[in-house]
Amino acid sequence: MSRPGLPWTHFLLALAVVAVWGSNFVVIRLGLDDLPPLTFAALRFTFALLPAIFFLKRPAVAWGNLALYGVLIGVGQFGILYIAMQSAISPGLASLVVQTQVFFTIGLSMWLTKERVRGFQLVALGMAAAGLAWLMIHADADVTWLGLGLVLIAALSWAGGNTTARAAGPVNMLAYVVWASLFSAPPLIALALLVEGWPAVSAGIANADARTWAAVAWQSIGNTLFGYAAWAWLLARHPAATVAPLSLLVPVFGMAASTIWLGEAMTPVKLTAAALVLGGLALNTLWPMWTRRRAAVTTPTEPG
């Protein structure tokens, strides 16, 4: 028995990727117990870069494209996300809010291509915005206005990275991410030394135990190298419309992992916000697929 459009083995691989990406937010929170946020981010991209860069050929894209992607994803997305997760937002909610990158990506694409926004996209955006507004109204220890703002900036940076990667064209995504890390690690190291200071950086590394280094490895190897490589492998073998909707499970895994491992309470406020944001994401992702399938079914075939 197989899943329609996706063999079970491939479906399980995709599920493993989104589980790694979702649980990654709990791993970040655990790593932040010992490491300052920018130091943690710098270590993540240093070990994503080394030693993999010596075994992967540089993709045939401009250095400027790699540099922009590296800075946006390394500093803009993860550097800021780690700062937010240090004390301003819980892992479960961070995994949910950062998915607004979907709407930022659409907005950037429309701005660059002058494409008009469609009705279902406005409804989807409205649902997600209502979910975020609900969180803001009920801000507490698990989510502050500062935390929401920082994670939204991280989501915008992720969207910028998506747009930059799309401009690179069809490339080996694993190699692309590894070589782009050449432009993520150095600025993160510099910012860690400038903002956090050498005493905090050295103390964090000295105090790091096996759990902390496992968190760094999970970030570098599991989340970055395995996640991107497996996802790219799946996208190379199946239509994006078959694979992409599974990414909607990332915040589901994120919130569940935070509840199970960190005891984060899933209050009615959080569940309502999650339903609105995930509903908007699902509508934006699934509506075009549904309309295309409906058109294919209702369009009569020509005789011949």
- For 240-290, the pLDDT digits (tens) are 666 777 777 888 888 888 888 888 888 888 788 778 877 877 777 677 767
Q: Residue ranges per domain, the chain?
A: 23-293
- Check residue 4 and give its pLDDT: 45
Q: What is the DSSP string of 125-137?
A: HHHHHHHHHHHHH
List, for residues 117-173, the tens digit of each pLDDT value: 777 777 877 887 787 777 777 766 677 889 989 999 999 998 898 889 888 888 888
Structure tokens belonging to residue 4:
């329609």
> Is 58:175 a contact under the CB 8 Å cutoff?
yes
| 3 state DSSP class of 143 | strand
Q: What is the CA radius of gyration of the chain?
A: 20
Specify the residue for token string 């780690």: 82
Rounded to whole angstroms, how far apart are CA atoms 230 and 280? 26
How many CB atoms are closer than 10 A to CB 219? 23
Q: In 3-state terms, the chain is what percent helix, strand and coil (to 5)? A: 80, 0, 15
Rounded to whole angstroms, how far apart are CA atoms 6 and 172? 22
- Check residue 264 and give its pLDDT: 81
**Residue (of 26, 78, 99, 90) closest to 246 by Cα position:** 99
